[in-house]
Amino acid sequence: MKILYTNFHQGDGGGHTTYVMSLARILCHKSQVTVAAPAGSRLLAEAGALPGVRTIPLEFKGRPLAQVRALRRLRALLRDEQFDVVHVNGSADHRLCMLATMGMGARRPFIVYTQHTDRSATSLGARVRAKWGTNRVICVCSHTFRRMKQSVFRNEDLRVVHNGVDTERCRPATRSQAARARDSLLPGNMQGRLVIGSNAGTAVYKNWLDMVAAVAKLPVQQRRQVVILIAGKLPDAEQMRRVAELGMSDQVVFTGLLDDVRPFLSALDVGFVLSSKLETISFACREMMAAGKPVIVSEVGGLTENVTDGRDGWVVPPASVDSVVQALSRILANRDALGRMGEEARSTALKEFSLATFVGKTESVYHEGRARQPYRLRLTS
């Protein structure tokens, strides 16, 4: 099978990069995999380091003339390579791939689109892409599936494939590994504190400042027991001012973007993802749980599909700082329960977050193209 993955993000790419790399890393051993993404993107760099994966620098956003050039280049690539499947991951790359395949007739590849957010897909652009540029839609959680059933995409094209994570790579750390991770990430005066962290990033809608505000509202004796650890792009000046206004500058540590998230996961006692919108299943949440960390999640999108409140984490209303304060108070009053809850989180990950299941179900969607393209014998691989 010949597969082309596309993604429009020019920088880190967050969950989109994790998603494509998870598929490419496994499927490249039995399929011909090509990744097209902007030059300088993390996705292109990581895909280029995979043996057997071809990479194509391509900008899916830009000025009209640049987009015309990109369209011509993409059309030539599709014509020459005759991909069986083109798997697109955002509106910008989806649109360009749709335009590039117009008029290809029987040689048109099977186009699979993954809906990574819970944005409403009802715009004119979405309507055009649904009609002319989509064969299947992958919904990364049940919440997304319900949303997409109300969209302009055809219900019969929708498939639910929950995101998976590498549970072996994100396995729980030993005590010595956790100690080394804390030594490397935290100042000496923060050792011994409860480490609450998130690798979900610092975008505004991730609401990580709600955790900072919640810790700031704890009684002084409890507040001094906590340190917050945040991985992702460094916050902007306004966000840093807010941290300072809350009096939390000495209790929040920012790691910046990480090439390897495992030491970060090892350093945590508790994870959190407190998004207020756009959230689906959250790779970050699933990675933290795979590492044996109970996670505090907001009742947004597909986050609650990961966590059972009180067993392997806690569920709080979105944008409710007081609810986070209450959860933290319970955690600090019963820190001995974290070990058991971490084991439950790991157990949930092993049962439900399988990378093999994720890749296998995604590949099954690709093979649905056989009925539409019986002449494409490569699809039998």
Residues 153-198 pLDDT 10s: 999 999 999 999 999 999 999 999 999 999 999 988 788 899 999 9
Residue 354 DSSP class:
B
Q: Which CATH class is domain 175-352?
A: alpha beta
In the prediction, which pLDDT does 380 show? 39
Q: What is the rounded CA–CA span in Å between residue 298 and residue 254?
A: 21
What was the pLDDT predicted at 277?
85
- How do residues 281-333 score in pLDDT, each as one tens digit? 999 999 999 999 999 999 999 999 999 999 999 999 999 999 999 999 999 99
- DSSP class of residue 108? P
Query: Tokens representing 219?
Result: 């009684």
| Token pair belonging to 285 | 């949440």
Q: 291: which 2 tokens? A: 């590492």
**Within 13 Å of residue 20, how many CA atoms lie on the same side as its CB?**
35
- DSSP designation for 125: H
- What is the C-alpha to C-alpha distance for residues 229 and 142, in angstroms, rounded to an integer? 30
* Intervals of CATH 3.40.50.2000 along the chain: 2-164+355-380, 175-352
| 68-75: average pLDDT | 96
How is residue 59 annotated by DSSP?
A: -
* 136: DSSP letter: E
* Whole-number Å distance between alpha carbons of 190 and 93: 44
Tell me how far apart the alpha carbons of residues 289 and 271 are, in angstroms, rounded to a whole number: 8
Question: How large is the average pLDDT for residues 20-48?
Answer: 96
Amino acid at 232: G
The pair of structure tokens assigned to 280 is 């689906």
Q: Pairing between strand 136-139 and 54-57? A: unpaired
- pLDDT of 191 reads 80
To 10 degrees, the CA torsion angle through 9, 118, 315, 352?
Answer: -80
Cβ-contact 222, 194 below 8 angstroms? no
Q: Which residues pair with 295 in a beta bridge?
A: 271, 313
Tell me how many degrees the CA angle 139-259-359 measures, rounded to the nearest 5.
Answer: 30
Superfamily of domain 2-164+355-380: Glycogen Phosphorylase B; (3.40.50.2000)
Instruction: Tell me what pLDDT residue 289 has.
Output: 98
Q: Report the alpha-carbon distance of residue 300 to residue 281 in Å, rounded.
A: 10
pLDDT the model gives residue 106:
83
Structure tokens at 98: 């749709």
Q: Give the model's pLDDT for residue 119.
A: 80
Q: What confidence score (pLDDT) does residue 373 get? A: 54
Q: Residue 238, SS3?
A: helix
The confidence score (pLDDT) of residue 189 equals: 78
pLDDT tens digits for range 340-380: 999 999 999 999 999 999 999 999 999 999 766 544 434 43
Check if the beta carbon of residue 136 is closer than 8 Å to that of residue 368.
yes
- Using an 8 Å Cβ cutoff, are 12 and 96 in contact? no
How many whole angstroms separate alpha carbon 134 and alpha carbon 101? 11
pLDDT of the residue at 259: 87
Which band of pLDDT confidence, cut at 50, 70 and 90, is reported for residue 381? very low
Instruction: Tell me the sheet residues that pair with 218.
Output: none
The strands making up 110-115's β-sheet, listed across from edge to edge, are: 54-57, 32-37, 2-6, 85-88, 110-115, 136-139, 158-160
Is the pLDDT at 243 greater than 70, yes or no? yes
Residue 195: name the closest of 206, 187, 207 by CA: 187
291 neighbors 268 (Cβ within 8 angstroms): yes
